[in-house]
Amino acid sequence: MALTIVFGYSGYLLPWDSLAYGAAVIGINLANSSPLVGKQIATLLFGGSALTPRTVTRMYFIHVFILPVIVTGLIIVHLFIVWVQGIAEPH
């Protein structure tokens, strides 16, 4: 479920209109308000603590390259587990 939320959020920012700008400001402020690691999270996800063109580039990279690889890997792991254990029969 968390990956679906991240997919939605990263895709929401890609048009870079006024709604995406507002969502990005909220996301950066939310990341910055996290204790201890807030600045690092904001830098990792958004390219800094302010909105720049790097923000759109990072969200595009996360949305198009990183998240599909993670989801595909989880699907492969799930299919392998089903193959090894078999499909559960109802009792």
43 neighbors 34 (Cβ within 8 angstroms): no
**CB neighbour list of residue 27: distance below 8 Å, 6 or more residues apart:** 9, 13, 45, 46
Indicate whether this model's pTM tops 0.85: no
Domain 2-85 has CATH 1.20.810.10: yes
Of the two residues 48 and 7, the one the predictor is more confident about is 7
The per-residue pLDDT for range 12-29, each reduced to its tens digit, is 888 888 998 898 899 888
pLDDT tens figures, 58-82:
889 999 999 999 999 999 999 999 9
Residue 91 has pLDDT above 80, yes or no: no
Q: What is the pLDDT of residues 1-12, one digit of tens each?
A: 889 998 998 898
